[in-house]
């Protein structure tokens, strides 16, 4: 983690004070590894402050100590927002049989909320977040990564809750007999099924595609390039958002991340 624009002479007193608190007033016993962890904690909080939209114009204008303290407050606020979002989502949460999704949300997230150390290790994510989401979170760490992850899961839940549970389970079973044990995104599987239906003007509540429908789909896709199929799938997604989700921009932006895989899926069908 780089030191950004602050010189070490500004950062070291912050790290030293943090080490003093961490060791119970005996910072001389801090190992190199712990000192590195605490430096990363300080930089994480400073970055949180600097990347906050309302503070963008103030970057380089305040001392490192102040940026750190304001950034740590933002980290604490985000942790509270994560807890609130999780509490709201878990009330109606459904894993639709997915063991990976159930374990990540019902077991993993509570562990993070319990053990996350915003004081001394805010950069630690703690979880592997095994259930995959559609958006790439590899650039994020700590509460930023987990908060974004839960936001995406919340969007998935809202997307799926518009459908009958029986329809979802049937689509998943048609996809794979033992889908419950796959480490795959179930929302993406449902989305691909729905886009296929929209391409064929087939009622969304019907599951799967017949042999005749697959042949029709092949005919539609036969002369299309990958980019044309992506555009076609994106148009179907826009139609879906307009018809059933009040043009939810956040949901559309998130589900759009699955368009490349949807195009690959339909290329295989074609």
What confidence category does residue 60 fall into, taking pLDDT thresholds of 50, 70 and 90? low
**Interatomic CA distance for residues 45 and 135, integer angstroms:** 24
Q: Which residue has the tokens 């997604």?
A: 237
Per-residue DSSP letter, 59: T
Is 208 part of any domain? yes
Say how far apart CA 90 and CA 88 lie, in whole Å.
6
Per residue in 11-55, pLDDT (tens digit) is 999 999 999 999 876 656 788 899 999 999 999 999 999 888 665
Contact of 68 with 48, CB cutoff 8 Å: no
> Which residue do the tokens 């933002």 mark?
74
Q: Is residue 238 over pLDDT 70?
A: yes
Look at the block and give the residue holding tokens 């799938």.
233
Residue 115: which pLDDT band, with cuts at 50, 70 and 90? very high
Residue 80 maps to a domain: no
User: What is the biggest distance separating any 2 CA atoms in the chain, rounded to whole angstroms?
Assistant: 75
Structural domain that includes position 244: 185-269
Structure tokens at 182: 């796959």
Residue 32: the pLDDT is 87
Residues 6+ apart with CB under 8 A from 121: 37, 40, 41
Query: How many domains does the chain contain in total?
Result: 1
- Report yes or no: 94 and 157 within 8 Å, Cβ to Cβ: yes
pTM for this model (two decimals): 0.91
Asked if residue 137 is part of any domain, the answer here is no
Distance, CA of 257 to CA of 235 (rounded, Å):
14
Q: 97 vs 86, 89, 165, CA distance in Å?
A: 20, 17, 11
Tell me which residue of 154, 204, 175 sits closest to 97, measured CA to CA: 175
d(CA 203, CA 249) in angstroms, rounded, equals 24
Q: By mean pLDDT, which of 44-48, 89-93, 95-99, 193-197 is the weakest?
A: 193-197
Q: What is the pLDDT of residue 1?
A: 47
Measured N-to-C along each axis, helices 165-175 and 186-199 cross at an angle, to the nearest 10 degrees, of 90
DSSP percent split of the chain into helix, strand, coil, nearest 5: 70, 0, 30
Say if 29 falls within a structural domain.
Answer: no
Is residue 77 in a domain?
Answer: no
Domain assignment of residue 195, yes or no:
yes
Cα gap 189→173, rounded to integer Å: 11
Neighbouring CB atoms inside 10 A of 64's CB total 23
In a domain, 216, yes or no: yes
Let me know if residue 263 belongs to a domain: yes
CA atoms lying within 13 Å on the CB side of residue 127: 28
Task: Give the per-residue pLDDT at 28.
Answer: 63
Q: State residue 269's pLDDT score.
A: 60
């Amino acid at each position: 983690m780089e030191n950004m624009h602050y010189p070490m002479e500004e950062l070291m007193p912050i790290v030293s004070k943090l080490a003093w608190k961490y060791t119970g007033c005996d910072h001389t016993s801090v190992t190199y590894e712990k000192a590195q962890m605490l430096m990363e904690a300080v930089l994480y909080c400073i970055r949180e402050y600097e990347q906050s939209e309302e503070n963008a114009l103030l970057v380089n204008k305040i001392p490192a100590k102040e940026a750190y303290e304001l950034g740590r407050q933002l980290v604490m606020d985000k942790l509270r927002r994560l807890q609130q979002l999780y509490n709201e989502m878990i009330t109606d949460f459904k894993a639709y049989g997915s063991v990976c999704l159930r374990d990540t949300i019902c077991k993993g997230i509570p562990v993070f909320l319990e053990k996350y150390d915003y004081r001394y290790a805010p950069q630690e994510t703690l979880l592997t977040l095994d259930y995959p989401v559609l958006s790439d979170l590899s650039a994020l760490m700590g509460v930023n990564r987990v908060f974004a992850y839960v936001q995406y899961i919340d969007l998935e839940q809202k997307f799926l809750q518009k459908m009958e549970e029986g329809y979802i389970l049937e689509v998943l079973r048609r996809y794979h007999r033992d889908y419950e044990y796959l480490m795959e995104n179930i929302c993406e599987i449902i989305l691909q099924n729905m886009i296929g239906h929209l391409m064929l003007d087939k009622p969304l509540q019907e599951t799967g595609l017949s042999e005749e429908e697959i042949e029709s789909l092949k005919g539609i896709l036969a002369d299309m390039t990958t980019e044309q199929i992506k555009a076609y799938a994106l148009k179907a997604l826009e139609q879906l958002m307009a018809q059933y989700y009040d043009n939810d921009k956040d949901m559309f932006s998130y589900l759009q991340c699955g368009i490349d895989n949807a195009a690959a899926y339909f290329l295989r069908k074609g």
